[in-house]
Amino acid sequence: MFEKIDRPERIIQFGEGGFLRGFADWMIQKLNDKGLFCGNIVAVQPIKDGMCDTLSAQNCVYTHIIRGREGSETSIINSISRCVKPYDDYGQFLDLAKEPQMRYIISNTTEAGIVFSKKDKFDDAPPETFPAKLTALLYRRFELSLDGFIILPCELIDRNGDTLKECVLKYAELWNLGEEFSQWICEKNIFTNTLVDRINTGYPKGEVIELPYTDRMLNTSEYFHLWVIETDYDLEKELPFSKAGLNVIITENELEKYRTRKVRILNGAHTSMVAHGLLSGFDTVRSCTEDEKMLRFIKKCIFEEIIPTLDMPKDELTEYANQVLVRFSNPYINHYLSSILLNSVSKFKVRVLPSVLEYIKRYGRMPKNLIFAFRRLIEYYKTQSPSDNEETVKYIKEHSLYEILQNKTLWGEDISFLCNEIEGAENAD
């Protein structure tokens, strides 16, 4: 399809799916194109079945299209040099440790990927879990007396780098690899914690995108992208994301505030609108933004009741919130409310309830829109068939509002003092 550019292989990437190809690989391509970095990626297929064969069949080159209300932008991604499949050739995988120029490890093995399992053995070829595979690779590197890696996990779990490092150290102990190796893990490798944010939609189902060539790995995404990397290492010196105009924030200790911003504003808005939207006859996030009354409700939740509870500069929060609304209205993304609804009680507890309680604490009054969202959530669970834990659904259907709010298992604390407010809540439109 397109010619490859010969660059040194400097990045090992666990995962070849749409997210990494439209996020980290797209960023590396930007750095390469602008002459700010010179390095290719080796994509490792972390599970037995994946897309590496399809990617390899087109020389690991693919098209990435960004689409939104802002317009569209097409780029060719040629920064993946090759694919490695540990389940087909474990030796080839371990040989990646031999390359001294290898400097970075990027991963996205889903939220369930960073786990520890005592079933994994050192002589498995390969071990099953991603952290076990990584430990084996690191041990081979250690045996060769080479430096370690800068590790950038993109899995959507809290403190992903810390959790991954903990798993690796557990495997080192389980497999009796020695104290010297454990010390090398801690001293010669940098495990960063990260927060990633971008919607990648792959090749949209039911849609035909005309290209002058065949591309079975075509990837699409929204314009917005955010990568927050927490490390005290001067990573910008090696990977100058800011010079490439990329929305990457490298911080020593402020990852949590960006995570809180995302969870409260982006995810909180989703969870606040979902039951109300479904009960009002809407099916997607975009359809909610296209209705004047529903959009007004969403904006009031965000700008009048969520943002006032966050301790970041208001202009920063407002800019992010406006970006969120643009993302919600993207005509190329069908984000179904039924998908967001999944496990909404636990989501409400984490994403919305903290804003409710903080608002009351700071202002001594109820956040009427979020309280109304709470009422609609309970109403949906009582009258519809939500996708949630069976015990949770059964409890809400069979108990009074007071008893539901009193249940610490559901909310983490007794919030029955909200009962009268929720019971009498009306849309503050």
Residues 262, 247 share a domain:
no
Residue 87 sits in a domain whose CATH number is 3.40.50.720
d(CA 58, CA 80): 11
Question: How wide is the angle at C-alpha 105 spanned by C-alphas 127 and 112, nearest 5°?
Answer: 50
Residue 3 lies in a domain: no
The confidence score (pLDDT) of residue 83 equals 98
- Computed over every residue of the chain, the mean pLDDT equals 96
Residue 4 lies in a domain: no
d(CA 157, CA 347): 14
Q: What is the pLDDT of residues 209-237, one digit of tens each?
A: 989 999 999 999 999 999 999 999 999 99
- C-alpha distances in Å from residue 35, one per residue of 38, 74, 105, 106: 7, 19, 21, 21
Asked if pLDDT for residue 410 goes beyond 60, the answer is yes
Residue 428 lies in a domain: no
Q: What is the pLDDT of residues 195-205, one digit of tens each?
A: 999 999 888 77
Place of tokens 């009031």: 300
Q: Residues with Cβ < 8 Å from 127, sequence gap 6 or more?
A: 120, 121, 133, 135, 136
Asked if pLDDT for residue 3 goes beyond 80, the answer is no
The confidence score (pLDDT) of residue 1 equals 56
Q: What is the pLDDT confidence band of residue 428, given thresholds at 50, 70 and 90?
A: low
Q: Which of 218, 252, 286 is the last residue of a domain?
A: 252
d(CA 81, CA 78): 7
The confidence score (pLDDT) of residue 110 equals 82
d(CA 30, CA 227): 14
Identify the domain containing residue 185 by its residue range: 9-252
Residues 406, 322 share a domain:
yes
Joined tokens for residue 354:
């903290």
Residues 227, 107 share a domain:
yes
Residue 2 lies in a domain: no
Residues 170, 83 share a domain:
yes
d(CA 38, CA 31): 8
Residues 260, 217 share a domain:
no
The confidence score (pLDDT) of residue 42 equals 98
Residues 316, 246 share a domain:
no
First to last CA, the chain: 54
Number of domains within the chain = 2
Residue 429 lies in a domain: no
Q: Which of 191, 217, 252 is the last residue of a domain?
A: 252
Residue 350 sits in a domain whose CATH number is 1.10.1040.10
Q: Which of 192, 226, 252 is the last residue of a domain?
A: 252
Answer yes or no: are the C-beta atoms of 121 and 133 closer than 8 Å: no
Per DSSP (E only), the strands in 70-218 are 71-77, 80-84, 104-107, 150-153, 190-191, 193-197
The confidence score (pLDDT) of residue 361 equals 98
- When pLDDT is averaged across residues 164-181 and rounded to a whole number, the result is 98
Residue 331 lies in a domain: yes
Residues 179, 40 share a domain:
yes
- What is 177-190 written as a DSSP string? --HHHHHHHHHH-E
Q: What is the pLDDT of residues 251-263, one digit of tens each?
A: 999 999 999 999 9
Residue 51 lies in a domain: yes
d(CA 292, CA 212): 40
Residue 1 lies in a domain: no
Q: What is the pLDDT of residues 269-281, one digit of tens each?
A: 999 999 999 999 9
- C-alpha distances in Å from residue 116, one per residue of 48, 119, 263: 18, 9, 26
- For 5-43, b where at least 16 C-beta lie within 10 A, e where not — what string? eebebbbbbbbbbbbbbbbbbbbbbbbbeeeebebbbbb
Residues 102, 35 share a domain:
yes
Residues 148, 20 share a domain:
yes
The confidence score (pLDDT) of residue 19 equals 94
Asked if pLDDT for residue 85 goes beyond 70, the answer is yes
Q: Which of 308-312, 339-343, 365-369 has the lowest mean pLDDT?
A: 339-343
pTM value?
0.91
Residues 244, 162 share a domain:
yes
Residues 198, 293 share a domain:
no
Q: Residues with Cβ < 8 Å from 364, sequence gap 6 or more?
A: none
Residues 85, 224 share a domain:
yes
Q: Residues with Cβ < 8 Å from 189, sequence gap 6 or more?
A: 138, 148, 149, 150, 151, 165
Q: What is the pLDDT of residues 114-172, one digit of tens each?
A: 999 999 999 999 999 999 999 999 999 999 999 999 999 999 899 999 999 999 999 99
Joined tokens for residue 303:
């700008």
- When pLDDT is averaged across residues 182-209 and rounded to a whole number, the result is 93
Answer yes or no: are the C-beta atoms of 113 and 123 closer than 8 Å: no
